[in-house]
Amino acid sequence: MSKKIVISTDLNGDITEFIADERDSLLDALRERIGLTGVKEGCNNGNCGACAVLLDGILVNSCCVMAAEVDGGSVTTVEGIALENELHPVQQAFLNEAALQCGICTPGFLVAAKALLDTNPEPTEEEIRFWLAGNLCRCTGYDKIITAVQEASKSMQKK
């Protein structure tokens, strides 16, 4: 029987304490222990990006981070990117551009796109494609996702 550990982290802006198994990945802990099931499991292997979150502001695949590693840190998931009662511009752009079909990869794309726009507010198409190459989408062919990130970039410039 493996050990249980207590972890304290800033989760989507609030200090959160939870108990995890020492073998839990951050993905396991977010989904199974805390119930933030917006973070999706696609491959559990770091290849698809569906579980992307920000850890201390850096984009990571939460399946490849141990839960214990986030003690004392900060984690932002898809549930935490909206601005109070308003969707984040990238969320709104995904809706406007029909950039999701089944929607399972969407949380990972949104977190990754937010991370891109946070550091590079006006990315080129090439930069968007390169940045998002770690997120797999099987439904859309990516076209509308790229367009949505371009639209989000424009709408954030206006603000």
Partner 1 sequence: MVSTQKKADKTYKVIGTRPVRPDGVDKVTGRAKYGADIQLPGMLFGRVLRSPHAHAIIKKIDTSKALALPGVKSVITHKDLPTAADAALNLGETTDNLKWISDKVLAAEDALFHGQALAAVAAVDKHIAEDALALIDVEYEILEPVLSVHTAMDKKTPSIHDNMKTVDMIARFQVGEISETQINNVASILDLELGDLDAGFKEADIIIEREFETGTYHQGYIESHNGTAQWNENDEVTVWLSTQGAFNARDQLAALLQVPMSKIKVIPMEIGGGFGGKIPMYMEPLAAIMSKQTGKPVKMHMQRDEVLLATGPTSATYIKVKVGAKNDGTIVAADAYLAYEAGAYPGSPVSGGGVSMFMPYAIPNVRALCLDVIVNKTKTAAYRAPGVPAAAFAIESIIDELAEKLEIDPIAIRMHNAAEEGTRRHDGVLAPSMAVKELLEEAQATEHWNAELSDPSIGRGIAIGAWGNGGMESSASASINSDGTINLNTGSVDIGGQRASLAMQLAETLGVEYDSIKPQVVDTDSIGYTAVSAGSRTTFATGIAVIEVGNKIKKQIINRVATFWEIDANALKYNDDGSVSSPDKIINFKEIAAMLPNTGGRIQASIDIQATTHVPTIACHIVDVKVDEETGKVDILRSTALQDVGKAIHPAYVEGQTQGGILQGIGMALYEEYYYDDKGILKNASLLDYRMPTSYDVPFTEIILVEKPNPGHPFGVKGVGEVPIVPPLAAVANAIYDAVGVRPNILPVNPRRLSVLLKEKNNK
User: 126-155: which residues touch partner 1 (CB under 8 A)?
Assistant: 128-130, 132-147
Report helix, strand or coil for 110.
helix
Residues 42 and 136: beta-carbon distance below 8 Å? yes
Site string for partner 1, 73-112 (x = CB under 8 A): ----xxx--x----x---x--xxxxx-xxxxxxxx--x--
Distance between first and last Cα of the chain = 53
Min dist CB 55 to partner 1, Å, is 17
Q: Of 35 and 72, which has the nearer Cβ to partner 1?
A: 35
52-55 vs 74-76, strand pairing mode? antiparallel
Q: Of 6 and 43, which has the nearer Cβ to partner 1?
A: 43
The residue count of the chain comes to 159
Binds partner 1 by CB under 8 A, chosen from 10, 21, 69, 71: 21
> Tokens 């993905």 belong to which residue?
27
Phi then psi for residue 62, to 5 deg, are -70, -15
Token digits for 126? 């090439």
Residues at the interface with partner 1 (CB under 8 A):
1-2, 21, 23-24, 28, 31-32, 35-48, 50, 77-79, 82, 87, 91, 94-98, 100-107, 110, 128-130, 132-147
